[in-house]
Structure 1
Amino acid sequence: MNDWHGWAAIIVFVGAYVLIISEKVHRVAAALGGAGLMLAIGATDDESAFYSTGSGIDWNVIFLLMGMMMIVGVLKKTGMFEYLAIWAVKRAHARPFRVMVMLVVITATASALLDNVTTVLLVAPVTLLVCERLALPVAPFLIAEVFASNVGGIATLVGDPPNIIIASRAQLTFNDFLVHLAPLAAVLTAVLVLLCRIMFRKAFVYDEDRAAEVMALEEREAIKNPRLLVQGLVVLALVVAGFVLHPVVHYEPSVVALLGAGLLVAVSTVETGDVLSEVEWPTLAFFAGLFVMIGGLIETGVIGEISKALADVIGGSELGGSMVMLGASAVLSGVVDNIPYVATMAPITADLVRDMGGAGDHVMWWALALGADLGGNATAIGASANVVVLGIAERNRQPISFWEFTKYGLVVTAVTVAISATYIWLRYFALT
């Protein structure tokens, strides 16, 4: 750790985190204030903060979010989300728990093909409308979908950004993730449904009058602009294809999203200003501040020291090492965004694998992926999807507090990580 800068960076980060948790200061102000202090004390500098791929603002994440927010903003004007909301409610016979199950399964499945942020951007507007129609509390449904997006994201190489980093470093393929992690993702999704039934049981209040009103609606009447809907869906399909074909076309998701947003604005009659007004600018600013703060921890060697300490604890035991890697990654990813964490741990994990005599079934890499992806559910700022949904909820005057999210997130993380530990032990040690 580099002299006093490291301790100063820790104090700034912890102070900003406390402010975010306490909600005495808006999280955007806390993040940007913390970022400014990191720059002021010299924990990082402008070059590292704005241009470094390892310790600066992740512009791929920022522009991916912006592009997808623009596309979703155009689709909102077509009435598509009202159509989907009515369709989903009618298929679930307006029963609140059935609606939640449907939304959770759809979100988890979509997150395996898209990144989890894109998924929640598409599902959240539908959820808001469903809850409004049935007079249901919004928070439980949005929180459940965030959990589902992070759980479903473990299934494939493109499901969660840390998976892409791990695949590149460990030379893993799309099929490797499908074979090793997709079965676990399916199990964890089923477990999540059961947890939601218990955790959110008070939210499943059936309003017979509201249900009858929705069941009487004709979803097709919700479509306001069929031509714009076709244009939007074609562009969205092209964007999804670009995400899935990333290993072939080598376009970053941010580039694909921006190209899609630009194309949609160009071919449609929607005013550019209207589209930009749909972008969650406070959420993007929060991410920028958070990235700079974490970059300060990386630049001063704090993250490196933590990673080395973890490596020392692991030693040469593959079983013990995978369990420590899983647990420690889950804890740290609940506090530090999992993208820079995985970027820092990837070379250390590669050294550990080499010291243990080879990759084997890549168990250490799977432990890192599972810990980082599932640990993101622990707190309201543990993963990008969490922050995005909290921003959407606040903009729609349905704010979700840090603690409201986290009290459920800790339970889901503990259960899913425990099941993952059992899965690793059974598949790679007990049954081999």
Structure 2
Amino acid sequence: MDVSQITSLAIFLIALAVIISEKVHRAVVALVGAALIMMLGLVPFDEALVHIDFNTLGVLFGMMLFISVVKMSGLFEYLAVTCAHIAKGQPWMIMMLFVLLTAVLSAFLDNVTTVLLVGPMTLNICKMLKVNPVPYFITEIMASNIGGTATLIGDPPNIMIGSAAGYTFADFIAIDAPAVVIILAVILVLFYFLYGRKMTVDVRDVNEVLQLRATDYIKDKRLMAISVGMIALVVAGFMLHGALGWESCVIALGAAGLILLISRAPIDEALANVEWTTLLFFAGLFIIVGAMTATGVIDMLATWLVSVTGGDVFLTMLVLVFGSAVVSAFLDNIPFVATMIPILTSMQAAGMDVTPLWWAVSLGACLGGNGSLIGASANVVLSDISRKNGYTITFAQYFKVGFPIMLLTVVIAAIYLVFRFPPA
């Protein structure tokens, strides 16, 4: 490794260590790290901007603004009370309902959009029942990343792989979705033993919630009707954005602008609810990771993952599913997958059957996001929502639950791949 590679890797590792220590806000750490990258000349300013994924930032900002307006209608309080009634006020039943809802929505929406929808509902229902929302948020983070693995549009790595390998929406449903169904069934059992059987709630609080009328929480009927219609349009937009030729950020920003225009909601109030620290964190992190891409660190890592298997497709598949997961737990999986694509296409051009490898990268990179609090956009967004409402989820608190569960889901995915693509 040359000096630039060592320096870029050192800045990333130091930034990660400071984020884990939680002595400094992660947004500040990311911005300082990005500034160091540019000041040391590892990546010039113009190139640093290229490494920022403005599509992701656009989705984040657009959906935060959109959800901020939707919240003004009382829709989330209405849905929270309705869910409480369906679950008869039982905290475990509510958790299971939200896990399944999050997973299904994440298969057809961007994960960030999903947690922005589900997060406020979770907060409202937990406040009503006077229970800690943190276990709910942790399970929803995991459900969003697992659910997003199932389809072509559920997670950015799948969109990239589908485009490079020529796979369709139906291909992902046929290959990834069965693994996701198995994984969801397993983690629901795990969540019950981890959280569900320990959950208690005062009978008086349950009775009080069950006596509430959901319709009483509607603040603005007109805005609520607009919100429901706009959410349906957003879902359709994300599902069709590839066919329409629109970037996902165009859908998100367009939805935010349209709902502000139609509803005439006060934009100052809407902007005040945007998680600006989350946006700053991602902007800085993109530059830090981009420096490792520019200096060749990520390329070296990806090449090593393939070379250690000696070119054996079956062994490479197993190495990739685990390697992609571990790397994606700490690095943005987008640049990693972007680096893996040319490697796999060159192997394919050399006459190798790399079909199992595409699916190994897809499952590993998407499921790996559950490994740490910075492993995926949804993790950061939902943890920031939690912190903003007085419930801090620390890096260590999430890691001791998220990383082992992530490894378990990847083991299940690996076993699934072995049966789906057995060795010759």
TM-score bracket, shorter-length normalisation: over 0.9
Residue 304 of structure 1 and its aligned partner are, at CA, apart by 1.0
1:334 alignment partner AA: A
1:276 aligns with 2:271: yes
1:144 aligns with 2:143: no
Residue 48 of structure 1 and its aligned partner are, at CA, apart by 1.3
SS, match of residue 393 in structure 2? coil
Which 10-residue stretch deviates more, 148-157 or 234-243? 234-243
The residue that corresponds to 1:372 in the other structure is 365
**Equivalent pair of 2:91/2:196 in contact (CA under 8 Å):** no
1:20 aligns with 2:19: yes
**Equivalent pair of 2:313/2:353 in contact (CA under 8 Å):** no
Residue 40 of structure 1 and its aligned partner are, at CA, apart by 1.1
Residue 401 of structure 1 and its aligned partner are, at CA, apart by 0.5
Q: Aligned equivalents of 1:321 and 1:44: distance in 2?
A: 32
1:218 aligns with 2:217: no
**Aligned to 2:128, which of 129, 133, 139?**
133
The residue that corresponds to 2:157 in the other structure is 162
1:404 aligns with 2:397: yes
TM-score (norm 2): 0.98
**Aligned to 2:244, which of 230, 243, 249?**
249
SS, match of residue 136 in structure 1? coil
Query: 1:38-49 residue pairs with structure 2 within 5 A?
Result: 38-49=37-48
Alignment gaps of 5+ in structure 2: none
TM-score (norm 1): 0.96
Deviations 1:53-88 (A, max 9, x none): xxx110000010111111110111111000111111
The residue that corresponds to 2:109 in the other structure is 114
SS, match of residue 237 in structure 1? helix
The residue that corresponds to 1:427 in the other structure is 420
What value does the CA root-mean-square deviation take over the aligned residues?
A: 1.3
Deviations 1:272-319 (A, max 9, x none): 111111110000000001000001111111111111111211322111
**Equivalent pair of 2:106/2:148 in contact (CA under 8 Å):** yes
> Residues 158, 309 of structure 1: CA spacing in aligned structure 2 closer, same or farther, 3 A cutoff?
same
**Aligned to 1:323, which of 290, 313, 318?**
318
Q: Aligned equivalents of 1:133 and 1:48: distance in 2?
A: 49
Residue 202 of structure 1 and its aligned partner are, at CA, apart by 6.6
Q: Aligned equivalents of 2:196 and 2:99: distance in 1?
A: 15
1:66 aligns with 2:65: no
1:386 aligns with 2:379: yes
2:363 alignment partner AA: L
**Equivalent pair of 1:83/1:223 in contact (CA under 8 Å):** yes
Q: Which runs of 4+ in 1 moved over 6 A?
A: none
SS, match of residue 67 in structure 2? helix
1:238 alignment partner AA: L
**Equivalent pair of 1:128/1:138 in contact (CA under 8 Å):** yes
- The alignment-based identity, stated in percent, is 42
Q: Aligned equivalents of 1:314 and 1:230: distance in 2?
A: 56
Q: Aligned equivalents of 2:245 and 2:186: distance in 1?
A: 35
Q: Aligned equivalents of 1:324 and 1:388: distance in 2?
A: 30
Residue 358 of structure 1 and its aligned partner are, at CA, apart by 3.1
The residue that corresponds to 1:196 in the other structure is 191
1:415 aligns with 2:408: yes
2:19 alignment partner AA: I
Residue 269 of structure 1 and its aligned partner are, at CA, apart by 2.2
**Equivalent pair of 1:89/1:130 in contact (CA under 8 Å):** yes
Q: Aligned equivalents of 1:294 and 1:96: distance in 2?
A: 39
